[in-house]
Each structure stands twice: as structure tokens, then as C-alpha cells.
Amino acid sequence: MQLISEEILRSLEESLGLDGLEEDEKRDTMKEIVALISSRAGLRIMKAFSEEEAREFNSIPEGMLEEMENYILSKNPRAREIFEEEARLTKEDILRIRNR
């Protein structure tokens, strides 16, 4: 994924204590976390799309992640920053819930 750096993914994994999990469980948990981050960041980015841009984005076939990322990057130069911010906020939310 171009929009979330490997460094941020490693930081999430370490901060959330996932490095002690079995590889399959760690991979599945990280997939869910990345999906949550992508949903949150995607919603923020799509709010700024025009109707035409939203139609164009939604016409990209499901599963074509690289094409989706490229479209987002072409329309919003702050996309990486938004994804990284959502990664940080998601991590904080998870830690806050876990520490209750």
C-alpha cells in the first residue's frame, strides 16, 4: 500500500503489541486495522471529491487497490498525510479502548 508506509505499519504493530502474536493472527489483525484506517481516510478524502470524481473513483473495479490509490493521489496531494494521520488516530483510539 502506497498510502501507509511500512514504517507506520511497523509502528502500529509494535505499539499495539501485535508482535507477540502468531504470524497468521498478526497478519489478520493488521489487515483489519489497515481496512479501518483506509475507510476512515477514504471517507475524509471522498468528502472533497466532486460528483464526477466520486463517480470516476467508484467506477474503479473493487480490488484494484493500486488503481484506487493512484486515483486518490492524483486528486488529493495530501492523501498520504491523511492516511498517516488516520493511522495515528486509529492507534490512539485502539489504545484508549484497550486501556479502559
pLDDT digits (tens, 9 = 90+) for 60-95: 998 898 899 999 999 999 999 999 999 999 999 999
44 lies in some domain: yes
Name the one residue in this structure whose C-alpha cell is 481496512. 35
The pTM score is 0.86
1 lies in some domain: no
How many structural domains compose the chain? 1
- Cα–Cα distance, 37 to 24 (Å, whole number): 20
89 lies in some domain: yes
31 lies in some domain: yes
70 lies in some domain: yes
54 lies in some domain: yes
Neighbouring C-beta atoms of residue 65, cutoff 10 Å: 13
pLDDT of residue 1: 60
31: containing domain: 6-98
- Cα–Cα distance, 34 to 60 (Å, whole number): 20
pLDDT of residue 79: 95
- Cα–Cα distance, 52 to 4 (Å, whole number): 26
Phi/psi of residue 17, nearest 5 degrees: 70, 25
Q: For the CA atoms of 46, 48, 53, 55, what is the dihedral angle to 10 degrees?
A: 50
